């Protein structure tokens, strides 16, 4: 039996990826047996602007034993009930992609069939009227979910908007308290063992040398270890996700604090609006094949809610992922491992997933390739599934007002996505893989929101009298409206629950 | 809409597949769709190859067709089972209970399974209350209280397919449907589409969609559509013994040089299925079965389900799970019009996955180096090199990691119990499990085992529980009419 164990884990790069990895490992490992070292440089900035998340974030913090209010105060966080998409299906249209479900499934048949039946019989309510998260979000309200499953308030699902730089700092305190050693310095050279190809040590600009037997590449787009050192191939997805640049800037708040993210499609990409407690994060993501930087900045600045804070920053990227996430004794986490647009706020989730899959496959001291293979199989599948969902937003558009949208509307898409679209379009069927991150209601919200409507509804529902269906739907709408009326405003809730110290 | 709307469905075939799908469709088909059932054989012999155990998933299926457990028990001789007692499987002495059980607990952030993987083989079995109860011969319904050890147990039923088919038929007949009892004489096609069936009584049956439940012969399958992916054949024989008294709540599967046999005891007597390689001379009503699946279960407007689509050996509940999945898959993809290409494509993809994953579980029963040097075992071992199986075994043997694929019919607990039962021990401890103090693990384990033992000691023997339960049901139902 092989008893060698990992003794020195080295994380290269701070930021969300680095500190989330450090925090998760420190919550699990005994520093007397395994040391965890994180190397970061103050000289290298992090990409983190205002960051939006999905509900899985709650689990990550819970596993670490972090109290929600404490975390929210420290990171300037607000609540998020979903995303509003503006101008995606057609110019002038908008829809809400809420967390959680629409309506209630009845007699084993998905709710959207009842909704479809009502539409075919003249009802005009969009499907988001049946989501408590959407209705409350649009009213800038918020409350925590109720425990009683019979209460409509139990349907609340939420995530956060926060300042990612502050989150990294917060996790740094957490991790250092649990024995993670932080070393300041910029990595200058990486030494690789001649035979095995394993990474052995790092030399820093301040002369320090750091040895380790396992490494995490959290160096962001630079992918210093995975790509520059180990030469892992990058799978380019720009034929499906052509945006390659972002201009970002924060601005001051105006009016009420929104409890949702907004994504507005522009002529060659889209613009986000992410409210944190003290300011609003904004970014315009576009393709330089269709728009130059200057025009993109102008659009960004022309579409801010309030006075800009500072100057726009330009970030270049390429969409895609590594062919291998785990290579030899190194795992890539975060932007170094792949980038999908923040359209569905999946960046931090993919970090979280990379870490938890690593933990479940935790290696011993001798690296058997079979563990890495399994990790890679799971991570590739996860990235590919999320990719399909994001491509859906671009593909399912009717916009023909710009070359960019003409490209997206007519581009060929992965077979796996085409299959989902065909099944939904034919008769409102939604199939998904068992472990897929985005569930049926997510897909349905975007498909219907962008006018991808099934040709027919479920044959059983079709035979129901329209009045009976409308009656059920009306009572659902009523329950949601009533619950929303009773909820506090998002501002008011945050003031009481987790107001950040300024 | 492309194509005309779906107005009629014909289910053709016999036995369990026919009546189980008829019962399901009688609930889920809209009333606007005409439903015809062509029953070609009231008691098909091939139904023995579905096996005689319903896995726990049938509980929900029965609820969905408004069939309660009391109805099942009062109208058939079914009994409870906590799993399958595997005996002398491939080697004398290799025995374990393939128990039905909920996910195992997690201690200190590490799954129990990983903590005890390197303990002796009896350890995992001793933490499964359903395995312990099965071995002891006792039964009680699992507790609703999540803190109670018995809440982790799951159970299925030992059944006779002929009795169950009759009950499903009664459920199906609650709906207005056209029932024809006759053989299929000719199948008339236009291109890929079956347009009509001519029956031995001279009737013609037309429908927009045909469900082929005709068993291994797959009568509606288009000529030239190869029965692909077929592998070896086996011979099977069923025998009954009306006088066997009820015993432990478990199916017994025993290995021998020639193959294996399964024994279940129902309230209506015992059923023994004997399976061997085709060169063995099984006397009496033996039939041969070719393991494998059809290349396309859904072709044109015909969907083959059950044995017409795929055949696996019933030493596990794989065939029953696949039959249930076939029916659920047809329900979820029931076409809305005569243009069914999109539904068919998705159906065939999912059916292929389900079959492949169920067959991995069966194949894993042969993936050991010490198989008997006899035709049955040696032929069965040929498929041990399936890449997905190799991945599962390599990951498990390496450090006890359970690889899972999409929507597998057998879950992580099923696989853990099987690996353990087959005698696989990971070469290395999981590093995180190894970091936990062995004494802590031992003391948690002792407590868990003590609690399980205490509960099992208080549970009544299965025959006594069953007779009291049936007496109670009789009183209750006679009082309420």
Q: Which residues of A form the catalytic set?
A: 80
Domain's final residue, options A316, A345, A376: A316
Q: Flag if A456 and B337 touch (Cβ within 8 Å).
A: yes
State the Cα–Cα distance between residues A208 and A218, nearest whole angstrom: 19
Tell me, yes or no, whether A209 and A336 share the same domain. yes
Chain A from 339 to 378: CB within 8 A of any B CB: 359-364, 368, 370-371, 373-374
Tell me, yes or no, whether A255 and A228 share the same domain. no
Tell me, yes or no, whether A107 and A122 share the same domain. yes
Q: What is the pLDDT of residue B116?
A: 86
Tell me, yes or no, whether A224 and A249 share the same domain. no
Helix H or strand E segment including A446: helix A440-449
pLDDT tens figures, B2-58: 578 889 999 999 999 999 999 999 988 888 899 999 999 988 999 999 999 999 999
CA distances in angstroms from B467 to A76, B37, B77, B457, B460, listed in the order given: 65, 36, 12, 19, 11
- What's the domain count of chain A? 3
Tell me, yes or no, whether A185 and A115 share the same domain. no
Neighbours of B417 (CB within 10 A): 26
Domain's final residue, options A359, A385, A411: A385
**Residue contacts between A and B (CB atoms, under 8 Å):** 82
pTM of full prediction above 0.90:
no
Q: Flag if B1 and A362 touch (Cβ within 8 Å).
A: no
Residue B433 DSSP SS3: helix
Tell me, yes or no, whether A475 and A453 share the same domain. yes
The 3-class SS string of A9-64 reads EEEECCHHHHHHHHHHHHHHCCCCCCEEEEEECCCCCCCCCEEECCCHHHHHHHHC
Question: Which chain B residue shows the shortest CA-CA distance from A31?
Answer: B435
Cα dihedral A411, A412, A414, A415, rounded to 10, equals 140
Domain parsing of chain B, residue ranges: 8-77+160-229+297-354, 103-158+359-458
State the Cα–Cα distance between residues A315 and A243, nearest whole angstrom: 11
Residue A501, domain member (yes or no): no
pLDDT tens figures, B377-409: 999 998 999 999 999 999 999 888 899 998 999
Kindly report the nearest CA distance between residue A359 and chain B, in angstroms: 8
Residue A91, domain member (yes or no): no
CA distances in angstroms from B282 to B276, B307, B333, B373, listed in the order given: 8, 22, 41, 20
Residue A336, domain member (yes or no): yes
Q: Please choose, from the candidates A298, A255, A215, A314, the residue with its C-alpha nearest in 3D space to the C-alpha of residue A12.
A: A215
Residue A310, domain member (yes or no): yes
Q: What is the pLDDT of residue A199?
A: 96
Q: Please choose, from the candidates B91, B107, B99, B154, the residue with its C-alpha nearest in 3D space to the C-alpha of residue B417.
A: B99
Residue A78, domain member (yes or no): no
| A230: CATH | 3.50.50.60
Residue A287, domain member (yes or no): yes
Q: What is the pLDDT of residue B121?
A: 74
Residue A28, domain member (yes or no): yes
Q: What average pLDDT score do residues B352-371 get?
A: 95
Q: What share of chain A is helix, strand, coil (3-state, %, to 5)?
A: 40, 20, 40
User: Under CATH, what is the fold of the domain B8-77+160-229+297-354?
Assistant: FAD/NAD(P)-binding domain (3.50.50)
Q: Please choose, from the candidates B473, B479, B480, B481, the residue with its C-alpha nearest in 3D space to the C-alpha of residue B75.
A: B473
Surface-to-core class of residue A125, CB atoms within 10 Å of its CB (0-12 exposed, 13-18 middle, 19+ buried): middle
pLDDT tens figures, A81-133: 999 999 999 999 999 999 999 998 887 788 999 999 999 999 889 999 999 99
Average pLDDT, chain A: 92
Q: Please choose, from the candidates A410, A431, A292, A103, the residue with its C-alpha nearest in 3D space to the C-alpha of residue B332.
A: A431
Tell me, yes or no, whether A338 and A227 share the same domain. yes
> Pick from A6, A363, A456: which is nearest to B1 by CB?
A456
ipTM: 0.75
Tell me, yes or no, whether A423 and A484 share the same domain. yes
Residue A138, domain member (yes or no): yes
Tell me, yes or no, whether A271 and A416 share the same domain. no
State the Cα–Cα distance between residues B263 and B244, nearest whole angstrom: 11
pLDDT tens figures, B98-130: 999 999 888 877 888 888 887 877 789 999 999
Which residues span the domain enclosing A329?
8-55+162-237+320-385
Q: Which of A367, A416, A460, A463 to mutate to test the interface with B (most CBs of B within 10 A)?
A: A460
State the Cα–Cα distance between residues A330 and A225, nearest whole angstrom: 8
State the Cα–Cα distance between residues B188 and B210, nearest whole angstrom: 12
Domain's final residue, options A316, A346, A364: A316
Q: What average pLDDT score do residues A175-198 get?
A: 95
Tell me, yes or no, whether A230 and A176 share the same domain. yes
Q: Which two tokens stand for residue A427?
A: 């008769």
Confidence band for B479, pLDDT divided at 50, 70 and 90:
low
State the Cα–Cα distance between residues A287 and A404, nearest whole angstrom: 8
Q: Which residues of B touch A431 (CB under 8 A)?
A: 332, 346, 350
> Pick from B32, B332, B401: which is nearest to A459 by CB?
B32
Decide: B434 and A413 in contact? Cβ < 8 Å.
no
Confidence band for A2, pLDDT divided at 50, 70 and 90:
very low
Tell me, yes or no, whether A213 and A188 share the same domain. yes
Q: Which residues of B touch A362 (CB under 8 A)?
A: 430-432
Tell me, yes or no, whether A205 and A333 share the same domain. yes
Chain B from 419 to 458: CB within 8 A of any A CB: 427-428, 430-432, 434-435
Question: Which chain B residue shows the shortest CA-CA distance from A435?
Answer: B406
Q: Which two tokens stand for residue A272?
A: 């986000």
Q: Please choose, from the candidates B117, B95, B102, the residue with its C-alpha nearest in 3D space to the C-alpha of residue B425.
A: B117
Neighbour order of strands in the sheet with A209-211: A187-192, A199-204, A209-211
- The answer on pLDDT for B225 being more than 60 is no
């Amino acid at each position: 039996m092989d008893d060698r164990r990992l003794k020195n884990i080295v994380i290269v790069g701070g930021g969300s990826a680095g500190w989330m990895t450090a925090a998760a490992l420190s919550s699990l490992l005994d520093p007397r047996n395994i040391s965890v070292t994180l190397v970061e440089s103050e000289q290298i900035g992090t990409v983190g602007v205002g960051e939006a998340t999905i509900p899985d974030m709650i689990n990550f913090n819970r596993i670490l034993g972090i109290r929600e209010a404490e975390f929210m105060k420290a990171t300037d966080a607000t609540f998020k009930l979903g995303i509003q998409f503006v101008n995606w299906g057609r110019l002038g249209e908008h829809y809400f992609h809420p967390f959680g479900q629409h309506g209630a499934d009845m007699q084993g048949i998905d709710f959207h069939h009842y909704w479809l039946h009502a539409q075919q019989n003249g009802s005009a309510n969009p499907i988001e009227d049946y989501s408590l998260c959407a209705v409350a979000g649009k009213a800038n309200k918020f409350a925590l979910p109720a425990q009683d499953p019979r209460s409509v308030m139990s349907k609340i699902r939420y995530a956060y908007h926060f300042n990612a730089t502050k989150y990294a700092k917060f996790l740094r305190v957490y991790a250092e308290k649990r024995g993670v050693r932080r070393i300041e310095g910029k990595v200058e050279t990486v030494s690789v063992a001649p035979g095995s190809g394993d990474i052995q040590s790092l030399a820093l600009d301040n002369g320090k040398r750091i040895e380790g037997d396992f490494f995490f590449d959290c160096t962001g787009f630079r992918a210093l270890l995975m790509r520059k050192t180990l030469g892992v191939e990058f799978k380019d997805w720009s034929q499906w996700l052509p945006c390659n640049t972002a201009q970002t800037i924060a601005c001051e708040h105006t009016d009420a604090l929104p409890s949702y993210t907004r994504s507005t499609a522009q002529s060659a990409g889209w613009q986000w609006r992410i409210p944190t407690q003290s300011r609003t994060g904004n970014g315009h993501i576009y393709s330089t094949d269709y728009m130059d930087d200057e025009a993109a900045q102008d659009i960004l600045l022309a579409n801010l809610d309030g006075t800009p804070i500072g100057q726009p920053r330009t970030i270049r990227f390429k969409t895609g992922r590594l062919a291998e996430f785990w290579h030899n004794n190194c795992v890539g986490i975060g932007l170094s491992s792949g980038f999908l647009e923040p359209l569905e706020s999946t960046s931090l989730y993919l970090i979280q997933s990379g870490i938890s899959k690593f933990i479940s496959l935790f290696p011993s001291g001798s690296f058997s390739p079979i563990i890495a293979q399994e990790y890679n199989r799971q991570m590739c599948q996860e990235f590919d599934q999320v990719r399909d969902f994001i491509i859906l937003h671009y593909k399912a558009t009717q916009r023909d007002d710009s070359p960019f949208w003409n490209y997206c509307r007519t581009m060929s898409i992965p077979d796996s996505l085409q299959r989902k679209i065909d099944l939904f379009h034919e008769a409102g069927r939604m199939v998904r893989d068992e472990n897929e991150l985005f569930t049926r209601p997510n897909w349905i919200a975007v498909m219907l929101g962008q006018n991808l409507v099934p040709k027919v509804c479920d044959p059983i529902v079709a035979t129901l009298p329209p009045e009976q269906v409308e009656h059920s739907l009306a009572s659902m709408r009523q329950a949601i409206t009533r619950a929303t009326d009773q909820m506090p405003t998002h501002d008011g809730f945050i003031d009481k629950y987790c107001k950040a110290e300024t | 809409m492309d194509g005309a709307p779906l107005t009629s469905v014909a289910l053709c075939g016999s036995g369990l597949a026919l009546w189980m799908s008829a019962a399901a469709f009688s609930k889920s088909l809209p009333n606007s769709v005409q439903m015809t059932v062509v029953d070609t054989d009231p008691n098909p012999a091939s139904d023995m190859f579905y096996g005689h155990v319903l896995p726990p998933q049938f509980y929900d299926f029965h609820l969905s067709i408004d069939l309660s457990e009391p109805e099942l028990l009062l109208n058939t001789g079914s009994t409870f089972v906590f799993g399958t007692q595997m005996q002398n499987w491939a080697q004398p002495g290799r025995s374990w209970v393939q128990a039905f059980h909920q996910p195992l607990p997690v201690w200190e952030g590490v799954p129990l399974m990983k903590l005890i993987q390197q303990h002796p083989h009896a350890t995992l079995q001793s933490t499964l209350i359903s395995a312990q109860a099965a071995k002891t011969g006792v039964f009680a319904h699992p507790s609703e209280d999540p803190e109670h050890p018995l809440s982790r147990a799951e159970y299925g039923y030992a059944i006779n397919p002929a009795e169950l088919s009759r009950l499903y038929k009664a459920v199906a007949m609650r709906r207005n449907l056209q029932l024809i009892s006759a053989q299929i004489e000719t199948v008339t096609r236009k291109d890929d589409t079956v347009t009509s069936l001519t029956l031995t009584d001279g009737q013609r049956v037309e429908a927009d969609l045909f469900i082929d439940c005709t068993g291994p012969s797959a009568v509606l399958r288009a000529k030239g559509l190869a029965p692909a992916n077929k592998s070896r054949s086996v011979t099977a024989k069923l025998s009954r013994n009306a006088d066997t008294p009820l015993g432990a709540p478990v199916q017994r599967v025993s290995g021998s040089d020639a193959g294996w046999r399964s024994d279940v005891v129902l309230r209506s007597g015992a059923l023994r299925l004997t399976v061997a390689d085709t060169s063995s001379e099984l006397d009496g009503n033996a039939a041969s079965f070719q393991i494998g699946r059809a290349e396309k279960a859904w072709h044109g407007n015909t969907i083959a389900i059950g044995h017409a689509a795929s055949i696996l050996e019933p030493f596990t509940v794989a065939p029953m799970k696949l039959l249930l999945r076939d029916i659920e898959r047809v329900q979820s993809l029931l076409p809305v019009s005569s243009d069914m290409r999109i539904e068919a494509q998705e159906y065939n993809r999912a059916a292929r996955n389900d079959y492949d994953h169920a067959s991995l579980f069966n194949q894993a029963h042969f993936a050991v180096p010490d198989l008997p040097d006899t035709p049955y075992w040696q032929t069965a071992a040929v498929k041990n090199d399936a890449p997905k199986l190799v991945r599962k075994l390599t990951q498990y043997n390496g450090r006890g990691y359970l690889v899972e694929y999409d929507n597998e019919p057998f879950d992580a607990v099923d696989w853990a119990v099987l690996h353990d039962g087959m005698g696989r021990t990971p070469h290395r401890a999981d590093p995180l499990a190894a970091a936990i103090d062995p004494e802590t693990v031992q003391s948690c384990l002792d407590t868990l085992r003590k609690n399980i033992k205490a509960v099992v000691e208080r549970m009544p023997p299965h025959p006594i529980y069953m007779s009291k339960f049936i007496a109670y049901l009789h009183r209750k139902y006679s009082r309420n009419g």
